[in-house]
Every structure is written in structure tokens, then in C-alpha cells.
Chain A
Amino acid sequence: MNILRKKSTAHLPFSETVIELFIRLCGISSILFVFGIFFFVFREGAGFLFGGLDVGQFLTNVEWQPTSLNNKRYGALALIVGTFSVTLLAMCIAVPFGLGAAIFVSEFCSPKLRETFKIIIELLAAIPSVVWGFIGLTVMNQLIITVFNAPIGLTMLNGSILLALMSVPIIVSIAEDALKAVPDSYREAAEALGATRWQVVYRVLLPAAKNGLLAAVLLGAARSIGETMAVLMATGHSVNMPSSPLSWIRTLTATIAAELGEVARGGEHYQVLFIIGILLFTITFVVNLIADLAIKGIRQES
């Protein structure tokens, strides 16, 4: 008799079988969706990507003139630089604030304050991006004009501040998890050797949690790269190689959002927008992959 090892579904009630099947489908579906989306985006852009588009020019030219009648240009460099520069500046703002807040929440504040903090931070994550864009158009715009005496406030800086505020909740919650995952015995050991709480943080916790903190930053960055509406509204939406934080820019995502509705389906312009989609997909995929590997690094260590 081999009761334990026998795994026949025949004896299970019908409902069990159905539920198991359903859950299995749910699990598989997410994989199917990801591949489905990738397949669809790739199919729409593939024709032009492999036949016609000068990929070198696409990646290195700054001229984006897809609607010009006699001088069509598909140079996405300004858009790529726009995306990366606004993200980089956003991270310069969000990383110190996000990691600082995570360290405070996990190590320094009282349990009661911690709960309040977490709720508020989650609230920050729940604000729709169009609302952020709206704040960028009105409040931040005016603020930047006043503070920097700039002609217009719809700039890279404006978009970066919004993106920073949007990625801070992600950075805080993942970084806090990473710090919480550091065994308490390390803190105790360091304190018993006479380390102050701040010394415990920067001599023990930060090195021990560095992979998780890196993952937090990367996922925050991935969020920034993919964000569309807020940057579309707040950065001026003008194809331009930025020279300072007060330059106006345009990002890859905003370009797709703004132009896709007005192109002829299947045309070159339509396809090139999908190629931008493929590019975005690749960038976020790489960033997420690195973040995942970093998180795996933590698990192996602890």
C-alpha cells in the first residue's frame, strides 16, 4: 500500500479539482500576459524595425520629425536622453529621501508612529499619476518660475520632483523590508560593543542590507522610467537635448502616449512608436532583472 505517495485526483471532491485548476490557470495567466504583451508590441514594430528603420540613426539622432511631409526623421536620442535624465535627477532626489525615511521608520521611530507613517506613505503611492501631473502643471510650475526666475516651470526639474515623489513610496517600503530582514542579533551585537544607534545603521545595517537597498532604488527607478502622464504634463513635452534641470524635455513614454492616437495604423510612424515600446520594455526588463538578482542576493546571505 502506498497511500501517501499516491496522488490521484480521482478521490478528490469535484470542487477541489475545479479550484486547483482555476488557481493553476491564474498562475499561468500572468506569464501568458507578459509574453502576450511582448509578442504584440514586438509584432507591431517588427516590420519596420527589421526593414526600413535605420537603427543606428534611431538611437543616435536627435531629430524626431515623424510627421514632416518631406523630411521624415526618426531620431529618438533626445527622447532617450530625456527619459534617462529626468529619471536620474528624480533618483538624486528620491534616493536620499527614500532611504532616509526607510531608516527612520525601521530603526528610529516608535511603533505607533511607524504605523501612521506607513499608512501615509502608502497613501502617497495611491495618488493617480494624472493628479501628480496636475500638481506639476499648476503648483510646481508656479513654484519653479518664482524660485528660479525661469520663463516657464514645465521643465525636467518639475518632472523629476514629481517622479521622485511617486517613487519614494516604493523605495521606502522595499528598503524598510530589507532593513527589517537584517537579524536583530547584529544590532544587539553592535550595541553591546558600544556602537551608537547611528553607528549601528551605517556600520552594520547598511552593509548588511545593501542588496535590498539596491533593489529598492532600482525598482524606484523602473517606476520612474515607465511613468507617462505626470512627465507628459510637467516636463514641457518638447523634443530637446536637455542642458540643465531647467530645460524642457520629452520622454519615450510621453511620446507614445501623445502620438499613438493620431497615427495611421500600420504606417511607419505607428511602427516606430511600437519600437519605442520595445525599447522601454527592454530597459525596464533589464532594470527589474538586476533588482531581482539583487533581492536574490539577500536571500542567499540570510
Chain B
Amino acid sequence: MCLVAEIYLDNSATTRPFDEVIELHSRIQKENYGNPSSSHARGVAAEKLLNESRRSIALLLKCREEEIYFTSGGTEANNLALKGAAYRRRRRGNHIITTQIEHPSVLNCCRKLEEEGFKVTFLPVDRQGYIDLDQLSRALRNETILVSTIHVNNEIGTIQPVEKIGALIKSRNPQTLYHVDGVQSFAKIPAAVHRWQADLYSCSAHKIHGPKGAGALWVRKGVTLQPLFQGGDQERALRPGTENTAAVAGFGLAARLSVAHMEESAAQLYRLKEKLCRGLHKAGVEFYVNGPPPEEAAPHIINLSFPGIKAEVLLRILEEEDIYASPGSACHSRRPDPSHVLAAIGLDEEKLSGSLRFSFSTFNNEGEIDRVVERIASGVRELRMLAGTD
């Protein structure tokens, strides 16, 4: 029997956990279910797991262990960063700067803060998704308490020049906090929170082959945030609630496993992207790359438009062959309105509706790309034929 394996190219949405992570996760649930706050041996063992994981994340970010606060995931880390900073610094100023291509967890936090009286500047981006430093410079004011930018955009893979952004912010006012949403960059490209002069950095486990339900916020020592919840004193009372020990431990392991081969992995992912583009080109498929050139974007993300093709239909044609990608951004697929990121980089209607995101992981290989190219080529051919006879 010949079973063709699935080809999962939606790694920006979520990733398949490493086998080691799954094993660790279930072992902890079975054997090490203690509450880290308990004083008995079970509790101590559980607390140790948390601290090991904290060490792994800190190692990756080159920061102190006690600067890592575990959360339920990226969305909570972003909420804690933005609201926690804004509420805490309300008396110092009420202006926040972010970009038009943030993840909804940042965008909607900013909109909420706007409703509560904060002023928010949403910086536009160019056709490749980069913000303009001059525009940022003009937007910075005395009352600016926080700047939040996404590091790697989840839809088009643009890597913001975080080091230049951080330098600009701090040169204007060292008191202004800088938050980097690193959910798509963590363990994929090097992080250097100190070099960037950042104060806050969010990341998430399930984007790096870890379990769902764990994330972290790095908070520079000395920066204080207002907690979102009131409760016990877990995570030094910044994030109360019994810790998700198994997921947090899985997060640490996933980070260790990812970082061990980060450079090779990036090279592999760039090769896959390039192979996809070259293959489509050779097969005579008409397509455009949305966002920066593939070699300039993050290693694992590429967004392509097939003009005149409805992305959903092409996706399902791929899905029939067990190939999974995403239209624009997975979070939007239930809403008919186009992705705010693709709109922000100025895509026209045709390219918007024909846009697909492929996001890779080290589980993917070149043989898979051959099959994907073949299926896209035949699918596009078929759809063009059907559309052409009207």
C-alpha cells in the first residue's frame, strides 16, 4: 500500500510538536502533576520544571531567568505587554505607537486602549511591509509611553529593523518602552533584546513545535507592568494562576531543540522557499510574491498571489492531496474581508483574493515541494480553464 503523507505548510498558524515534546508533555501530566506552589515534594518537582524551562527561554533571549514570565500564549503575552505597560504609565503619558500590520492581539489591544482614552498611532508600511523610520521619528512625542512592533510579520514574513527602531526610540526618550512581538520570530531568527534596546518581548510555544497553551513575556528588569488578573503570587504576581507545568516544560524543550540548529534550519527553510518559487516559475505558473523578496523575509514564510484564482478554491484543491496552506492569514479565513496586512501593503483586489500563505518548518523537505509545485500548477491550470470559458 502506498500512503502519501500529508504536507503541512501552515506553520505560521501552528506547528506539529516535536515527538520529544509530546512525550515530555504527557509524562509530566502522568507523573508530575503537582502544583508548583505546593510545599511538598510533588510541588517542588513541578516548580523545578518551570525553572528549567525559564532557563531555556532565557538562554535563547540572552536575558536573566527572572525576566521571563510565562503566560497562556502569544495573545496573552501581547495583552500583558500592552495593557500592563499602558495602565502602569498612564500618568506619564497617553500615547502609543504601533503599526498597521500587527497581529490582532496587538491591534485590538490598541483599539481597546483607544476606547479607554489612549491615543494610538498606527504606522503605515511600504509595499514590502516595512515601517518608515522617519515616520516613526515624527510620530514619537513626549507623551509616547510605548511603541509596539511585530518582529516577523505572520502573513508576509517581513522582518522589521528592530535594532534601528529601538535605537531611534531610546535616542528620543529612554523612558519610552519598546515591545517587540516575537511570536513569529522566536527561535527562528536570532533574538537580541538588549541590542535592540527592547523592554518587552512576546513569544509562544506552539509556533516552535511546542505545545499549545504556553507563551512567555520577557520584561526587562526594572520595568513594571500592571497585571491583567488578580490572584495568587505565581509568576511574581504578574501572571497569577496555577502554572501550566506540562506546556511550559514542553515550551522550554522545544526552544532548546529549535535553537540547537537554528542556523541550519533557517538555511533549509530558505532553500524550500526558493525551490517553491523556482518550481512554480519553471512550471509556467503566473504568480507574485507579496511582501519582501523571499531571501529577505523570515526563513519560514512566503505569501504568493495567483491572479484571477480564488485562494480558497486553490487551497481546497491542495487539501484534496493532503497539502495544507492558508489563505492570507488563517485567522481571517472565516471572514470575507481581506487581510489587513495585505491591504496595508497595498495589494489590489485581484491579488488580495488570490493570495496564499505557505509557511514551512524543518519537518518539510524538498520532495514535498516538488509535489506542491505540481499540484499548484495543475490546480491553477484547471481553475483558469474553468474561469476562461464563460
Partners in one complex: no
A residues at B contact (CB < 8 Å): none
